[in-house]
Amino acid sequence: MQQPLQLPVQQPPGCGKSSLLSSSASAAGAIPKGSVVCSTVSGNPYAGLVSHLRAAWLSGKTRPLEYRVAQLEALGRFLEEKKQDILEATALDMGKPPFEAEFSEVLLCKNELNEALNNLSWWMKDKHVDKNLATQLDLAFIRKDPYGVVLIIGPWNYPIYLLLVPLIGAIAAGNCVIIKPSKLTKNSEKLMEEVLPKYLDKDCFAVVTAGVEETTRLLENKFDYIFFTGSPSVGRIIMTAAAKHLTPVTLELGGKNPCYVSDTCDVQNVARRVAWGRFFNAGQTCIAPDYVLCSVEMQEKLMPALREAITEFYGSEPRNSPDFARIVGDKQFKRVQALLSSGRVAIGGQTDEKERYIAPTVLVDVKPSDPAMQEEIFGPILLIITVANMDEAIDFINSRERPLVVYAFSSDNKEVNQVLERTSSGGFCGNDTLMHVTLTSLPFGGIGSSGLGMFHGQFTFDTFTHHRGCLQRGTGLEPINTLRYPPYSTHKMGLVRTATSVKRRGECFLL
């Protein structure tokens, strides 16, 4: 079989040599007339860095498989050698229990890394596609091109995982990358800023620490892709900044995740699985179950089971448990504390501002109009809303913004499937919480106000890859090609139709 032509490393249209000039040169007007500067913004404090990365990308350095593998393996060494530092930093930042930090910040990153290393050569390969009659002797394939210079902005709740998992995909796809950690988790940010760069090629990968003002300046530069994880309100700001340069974005946002619990469930199991998902990282998880929808009868049974699960997990005084995290900052503490006034506290409710501690809490008699139902909880508070039946629960879910995940618990699979089929959300998990995130084979992302785009496993690689449609034609057989050139005729039209049409299966070719 004919091998596809290995196309030389190409510069993206509009990015001539001039884009390699330093920002100061461009500011001084040293760019030759007529050339286009892709990433330099006059007087912008980050223009030099973006230019430097763009020059590295244009050099083709990040493209070979061996280079990508070497950088990914270095990232693996960072996770291995600095595991303890990660656990300490996240413990200092928000009292993240070591078990939860190792599981969510280290282990899940390693899984993503191994998935990429195991499959990268396969993911990178050109994908040959079907051809029509006119192109039978040619090569038609999808080239997996890197986007170029990409920006990854992370939140504070999983400050390592939510930067490194997109970074793994961006490196795997052959991009140069700037990552921007959250300012709120200072210790994790410092680790990213001071230690991670020691493991990676500084020409191609940079960490920028920036508050709102500096990030606004950073976003003035042209990036080829922006991957943002955070709140819907900041997501809008990111998308607006990206729109100026027509830069594509992935927005991993939040929302309120409903959890339907049917009357047929094993109550103890449900209580443990829901409590674990809600109180993991003190509820500061974008896919935590936010509110339970169940019947009054189920609420009666669920309450003692939830109390039992909480005591089983954190003891009779969760404040003293080494396995229960704290709220990340004072502002966030006050926001979550204020939500305790919704409905009635059935379990927990204790708070300690000095420690930024909020006990694992369950609120009942919550009305849809209560403040706790107007925003994402993002803290250790579980709401219970009673409904008459599954249909009412589904109507309730569908009357609100589409969530990042819908959970449904039932011992009857048909019921779980009903909830799956009749609702819409970023992801779905039946009879458990959070566990869908452990599969690198599943896409992860939101829909509507919970986000745009997806990642995990090959989906992260594809997110940071431009799927470039390529047709490589032979240079001979010109007499056949003349059939599509003027002067046109009905006869030529018939031949062109036959040679290029896509037919319905079973339809025969008619001239």
Q: Which positions are annotated as active-site residues?
A: 252, 286
Please work out the total of residues on this chain that contact ligand NAD, with binding judged by CB under 6 A: 26
Name residues contacting ligand NAD, limited to 197-216 (CB under 6 A). Answer: 212, 215-216
DSSP helix, strand, coil percent of the chain (3-state; round to 5): 45, 15, 40
In the set 40, 157, 250, 351, which binds ligand NAD (CB under 6 A)?
Answer: 157
User: Among the candidate windows 63-71, 89-97, 197-205, 225-233, which touches ligand NAD by CB under 6 A?
Assistant: 225-233
Distance of CA 24 to the CA centre of its chain: 35
Distance CA 251, CA 154 (A): 11
In the set 23, 44, 51, 182, which binds ligand NAD (CB under 6 A)?
Answer: 182
152 binding ligand NAD? (CB under 6 A): no
Between 62 and 182, CB nearer to ligand NAD? 182
Name residues contacting ligand NAD, limited to 448-467 (CB under 6 A). Answer: 451
In the set 404, 416, 429, 434, which binds ligand NAD (CB under 6 A)?
Answer: 404
In the set 117, 234, 345, 483, which binds ligand NAD (CB under 6 A)?
Answer: 234
Binding mask 20-39 for ligand NAD (x = CB under 6 A): --------------------
Q: Which residue has the tokens 């849809």?
A: 368
Backbone angles phi, psi at 260, to 5 degrees: -85, 130
What are the residues facing 357 on neighbouring strands? Answer: 352
Between 106 and 270, CB nearer to ligand NAD? 106
| Run of H or E residues at 511 | none
Name residues contacting ligand NAD, limited to 237-266 (CB under 6 A). Answer: 237, 252-254
In the set 11, 135, 209, 231, which binds ligand NAD (CB under 6 A)?
Answer: 231
Distance CA 388, CA 399 (A): 16
Distance CA 338, CA 347 (A): 16
Q: Min. distance of Cβ 495 from ligand NAD in angstroms?
A: 52
Between 255 and 343, CB nearer to ligand NAD? 255
DSSP one-letter string for 316-362? S-GGG-TT----SSHHHHHHHHHGGGSSEEEE---EETTTTEE--EE
List, in order, residues 6 or more apart from 21 with CB less than 8 Å away: 30, 31, 37, 40, 51
Say if residues 351 and 359 touch (Cβ distance below 8 Å).
yes
Say if residues 53 and 33 touch (Cβ distance below 8 Å).
no
The site for ligand NAD (CB under 6 A) is made up of 153-157, 162, 180, 182-183, 212, 215-216, 229-231, 234, 237, 252-254, 286, 376, 378, 404, 446, 451
